[in-house]
Amino acid sequence: MELQTHVPLDKAPIPISYDSEIMLLGSCFANHIASRLTYFQFRNRVNPFGTLFHPQAITNLIIRSIKGKKFRKEELIYHQESWHSFEVHSEMSRAEADDLLTGLNTGLQELREFLLNASHLVITLGTAWGYKSKDKDSWVANCHKVPQSEFTKILSTPADIKEHLFNALTAVFEINPEIGVLFTVSPVRHLKDGFVENQRSKAHLMVAVHELVEQFSNEKVYYFPSYELMMDELRDYRFYEADMVHPNALAVNYIWEKFSPVCIDDKEHAVMLSVEEIRKGLAHIPFNPHSEANKAFKLALGEKIDDLRKRYPFMKFE
């Protein structure tokens, strides 16, 4: 008897390996994926400008970094005793404008350099609902608690989203033709927009991304169904945090277990098991730290770490 529907999963055309360098951009679910990649010692960088939910926000920073268009002081805003940029998350905000500019422009340079050499770009889209500043008539990634009356709320159409993302990918492929791109739609429901509005938003994102995948029929652009897994395989509130919106650790682990077999190269799974074994060994708290058995255990663990680091010098175990 089958008691659960299963979302069919295709293998990623360019799987992640321990030779990969991965840039992850987008919603907070990108951070969840990055944390799992980090746990298994894959090289990655996530959201250098903080979480980004709307496709236009992601596109703006990608293109800005590639074109080398630096942030200027006149683009910043001062609100509630801090300096902010509407193009980035509030975690970048600073008390001094010069400090913010330094952080923003250093981030742009680092993002461009990483994209030049990255093997993978993972983009997690959160919502098709976005905001434009009435004063500047430009898209904002974060409102920074500026009154909502200062913005116009817009539901981006699939055509607009597709155009934004196409422009971003075109810019990326110009500087790095071999990079693989993986899209996913965040399983976090944006219920503050409304229940129906959230479904409309997610639908717009999916239509746009699938049309984009079809347009780039070069086996370099791939879609992984995170949102579908949450909605169809984890159809129970026990898989949510107390807010009934964000997936809990159990759900994130479940989606990772679906992600790993199709997005990570099969030959790396044995290495991942070794990394996990070492992680668990390092976290082990011995009953008797001074026993001969514990000394032998630590010696064997050290040998396993040395063996892995000979093959993968970038791995770090503390």
pLDDT in tens, 201-216: 999 999 999 999 999 8
* pLDDT reported for residue 60: 96
pLDDT, mean of residues 273-284: 94
**Cα–Cα distance list, 230 to 104, 126, 182, 239, 252 (Å):** 34, 14, 18, 9, 9
Instruction: Give the list of residues 6+ apart from residue 39 with CB closer than 8 angstroms, or none.
Output: 275, 276, 279
pLDDT at 287 over 90: no
pLDDT, mean of residues 235-259: 94
pLDDT at 177 over 80: yes
* pLDDT reported for residue 290: 86
Q: How many CB atoms lie within 10 A of CB 315?
A: 18
As beta bridge partners, residue 222 has: 182
With beta carbons less than 8 A apart as the criterion, state whether 35 and 284 touch.
Answer: no
Q: Which amino acid is at 149?
A: S
* pLDDT reported for residue 57: 96
pTM for the whole thing?
A: 0.94
Q: What would the two tokens of residue 103 be?
A: 């952080």
Chain-wide mean pLDDT for the chain? 95
| Domain ranges for the chain | 21-264, 267-318
By DSSP bridging, strand 180-185 and strand 139-140 are: unpaired
Residue 136 pLDDT class (50, 70, 90 cuts):
confident
Query: Using CA atoms, how far apart are residues 98 and 76, in angstroms rounded to an integer?
Result: 10
By DSSP bridging, strand 77-79 and strand 21-26 are: unpaired
pLDDT, mean of residues 123-145: 92
Q: What would the two tokens of residue 49 be?
A: 């400008």
Q: Which amino acid is at 286?
A: P
Query: Using CA atoms, how far apart are residues 167 and 63, in angstroms rounded to an integer?
Result: 8
Q: What would the two tokens of residue 300 be?
A: 């064997």
Measure CA of the first residue to CA of the last residue in the chain; give whole Å.
Answer: 46
Q: What would the two tokens of residue 84 be?
A: 């902010």
pLDDT at 3 over 80: no
With beta carbons less than 8 A apart as the criterion, state whether 33 and 25 touch.
Answer: no
* pLDDT reported for residue 2: 77
Give the residue among 58, 35, 68 at the shortest CA–CA distance from 252.
Answer: 35
* pLDDT reported for residue 137: 80
User: pLDDT (tens digit, 9 = 90+) per residue, 95-131?
Assistant: 999 999 999 999 999 999 999 999 999 999 999 999 9
Query: Using CA atoms, how far apart are residues 224 and 16, in angstroms rounded to an integer?
Result: 13
Q: Provide the residue count of the chain.
A: 318
Q: What would the two tokens of residue 151 be?
A: 């913005």
pLDDT, mean of residues 174-189: 96
pLDDT, mean of residues 22-40: 96
Query: Using CA atoms, how far apart are residues 280 and 56, in angstroms rounded to an integer?
Result: 40
Angle at 9 between CA 223 and CA 280, to 5 degrees: 95
Give the residue among 146, 141, 147 at the shortest CA–CA distance from 127.
Answer: 141
Residue 135 pLDDT class (50, 70, 90 cuts):
confident
Residue 289 pLDDT class (50, 70, 90 cuts):
confident
* pLDDT reported for residue 219: 82
CA 42 remoteness from chain centre: 14
* pLDDT reported for residue 92: 96
**Token pair 């399983």 in the structure block, residue:** 187
Query: Using CA atoms, how far apart are residues 258 and 62, in angstroms rounded to an integer?
Result: 28
User: pLDDT (tens digit, 9 = 90+) per residue, 61-93?
Assistant: 999 999 999 999 999 999 999 999 999 999 999
Of the options 3.40.50.2300, 3.40.50.1110, 3.90.1150.10, 3.30.200.20, the CATH number for the domain spanning 21-264: 3.40.50.1110
User: pLDDT (tens digit, 9 = 90+) per residue, 189-243?
Assistant: 999 999 999 999 999 999 999 999 999 877 899 999 999 999 999 989 999 999 9
* pLDDT reported for residue 261: 97
